[in-house]
Amino acid sequence: MADGSLGGPHVWVETGELVLLTTLSVSLLGCGEGGPLSGDGDPAGPSGPTIKLTSPVADEQRYGNTLDALFDVRNFTLDEAGIGADDVAGRGHVHAYLDGVQVGETADTTFAFSSLPSGPHTLEVRLADNDHDENWEGSWVYMETRDSRISILSPPDGNVYAASSAPLTLQLTDFTVSPDAAFGDVAFGQGRYQVRIDGEVVDFGFDPAAFEVSQLPEGIHEVGVELVTSDGAPLDPPSQDTVSIEVLPLSPFLAIDRSPYLGEHGSATVPLSIAAANTPLSYHLYVDGDYAVGGEAPELTLGHVAGGYHFLELVATDGSSELPIRDHLHLFVAPERPDIAITYPGDLWGVPAAFSLTVQPESFTLDPAGMGGANVPGHGHWAVLVDGVSVAESATTSAALSGLLPGDRLIRVALENNDHTPVEPPVYTEIRVTVE
Measured CA to CA, the distance from residue 257 to residue 275 in angstroms comes to 8
Which run of H or of E encompasses 123? strand 119-128
Give the global pTM.
0.72
Cβ-based neighbours of 401, under 8 Å, separated by 6 or more? 354, 355, 356, 357, 384, 386, 391, 392
The larger pLDDT score, comparing residue 135 to residue 38, is at 135
Of 307, 310, 300, 308, nearest to 271 by C-alpha is: 300
Q: Picking from 1-5, 163-167, 219-223, 293-297, which range would have the lowest pLDDT averaged per residue? A: 1-5
Q: In order of start, what are the domains of the chain with their CATH numbers?
A: 38-146 (2.60.40.10), 149-247 (2.60.40.10), 253-333 (2.60.40.10), 339-435 (2.60.40.10)
The larger pLDDT score, comparing residue 138 to residue 331, is at 138
C-alpha triplet 427, 430, 432: angle, nearest 5°: 175
Question: Are 370 and 385 contacting, i.e. CB atoms less than 8 angstroms apart?
Answer: no
Measured CA to CA, the distance from residue 72 to residue 52 in angstroms comes to 5
User: Per-residue pLDDT tens for 184-241?
Assistant: 899 999 999 999 999 999 899 999 999 999 999 999 999 999 999 999 999 999 999 9
Give the per-residue pLDDT at 183.
80
Cα 2 from chain centre: 68
Q: Picking from 72-76, 108-112, 304-308, 387-391, which range would have the lowest pLDDT averaged per residue? A: 304-308
The yes-or-no verdict on residue 30 having pLDDT over 50 is no
Question: Are 367 and 395 contacting, i.e. CB atoms less than 8 angstroms apart?
Answer: yes
Detail the DSSP E strand segments found in 318-371: 322-333, 339-344, 350-351, 355-362, 365-366
Residue 96: which pLDDT band, with cuts at 50, 70 and 90? very high
User: Per-residue pLDDT tens for 319-374?
Assistant: 889 988 899 988 889 888 999 999 999 888 899 999 999 999 999 999 999 999 99
Which run of H or of E encompasses 192? strand 190-197
Which run of H or of E encompasses 182? helix 179-183
Of 286, 274, 340, nearest to 315 by C-alpha is: 286
